[in-house]
Chains A and B, each alone.
Chain A
Amino acid sequence: MRYRKILLLAASIAVFTTFAAMSYPENSLKKSLNFDDDTPLSVLLEKFGEKPVYKQVQVTADAVEQGRALLRKGFTTAPNSKKTPRQSKFFVCTSCHNVQKEFDDLSIIHPEARLDYAVKKGIPFLQASTFYGIVNRTSFFNGDYQKKYENSLGIKEANKDLSAAINFCAVNNAQGRRLKEWEINSILAYFQTLELKVSDLKISADEKLQIQNVLNAGINDKTAIDLLKSKYAVAMPATFLKIPRFEIPDPSLYNDNKRLKDGKAIYEQACLNCHFQKKYSFFGLDKELLTFKALEKATRTENYIFSPYFLVREGLSPRMGHRFHMPLFTAEKMSPEQLESLYLYISAMAKKKYKE
Chain B
Amino acid sequence: MKTLKLLTALLSCIALNISAQSEKVYHTFTSTRIINSQSTETVKEGYMDIRITHRFGDFMRDWKPENSWGNLLGLEEAADVMVGFEYGIKDNLTAGISRTKGGADMRQLMHGLLKYRPLTQTTDNAIPLSLAIVGTASWATMKRSNFDPFNPVLSSLSVCETCAGYFANRWRYALELHLARKFSSRFSMQLSPMLIWRNLVRSGEQNALFTANAAARIKLTKGMALMLDANLPFSSTFWGPNRRYEIPLGLGFEFETAGHCFQINFTNSKGIVGTDYISDTNSDWLNGEFRLGFTISRLVKLKKTFPEN
Contact = CB atoms under 8 A, between A and B. Distances in A.
Interface of A: 72-74, 86, 89, 91-92, 94-95, 98, 124, 273, 277-284, 286, 288-291, 293-294
A279 B305 contact: no
A279 B299 contact: no
Contacts of B309: 94-95, 98, 124, 273
A95 B185 contact: no
A293 B304 contact: no
Nearest to A294: B222
B221 interface: yes
A144 B305 CA distance: 31
B186 interface: yes
A317 B222 CA distance: 24
A72 B308 contact: yes
Nearest to A306: B258
B54 interface: no
B259 A282 contact: yes
B123 to A, nearest CB: 10
B222 A293 contact: yes
A281 B306 CA distance: 11
Given A281-B258, A291-B222, A294-B221, A286 B27 contact: yes
Contacts of A89: 304
A73 B26 contact: no
B307 A282 contact: no
Interface residues of B, number: 19
Contacts of B26: 277, 286
Interface string B174-191: 000000000011100000
Interface of B: 26-27, 44, 184-186, 219, 221-223, 258-259, 299, 304-309
9 contacts: A74-B306, A95-B309, A273-B309, A277-B44, A288-B185, A289-B184, A290-B186, A290-B219, A290-B222
Contacts, number: 48
B258 A73 contact: no
A72 B219 CA distance: 37
A277 B223 CA distance: 15
A91 B259 CA distance: 17
B36 to A, nearest CB: 25
A73 B308 CA distance: 8
A278 B26 CA distance: 11
Given A277-B26, A288-B185, A283 B258 contact: yes
Nearest to B256: A284
Contacts of A74: 304, 306
B44 to A, nearest CB: 8
A290 B223 CA distance: 9
B105 to A, nearest CB: 40
A73 B223 contact: no
Nearest to A276: B26
Contacts of B222: 288, 290-291, 293-294
Nearest to B259: A282
A62 B200 CA distance: 63
A43 B223 CA distance: 56
Contacts of A91: 306
A92 B304 CA distance: 10
A143 B306 CA distance: 30
A73 B221 contact: no
A323 to B, nearest CB: 13
Given A277-B26, A286-B27, A288-B185, A94 B304 contact: no
A283 B299 CA distance: 12
Contacts of A281: 258
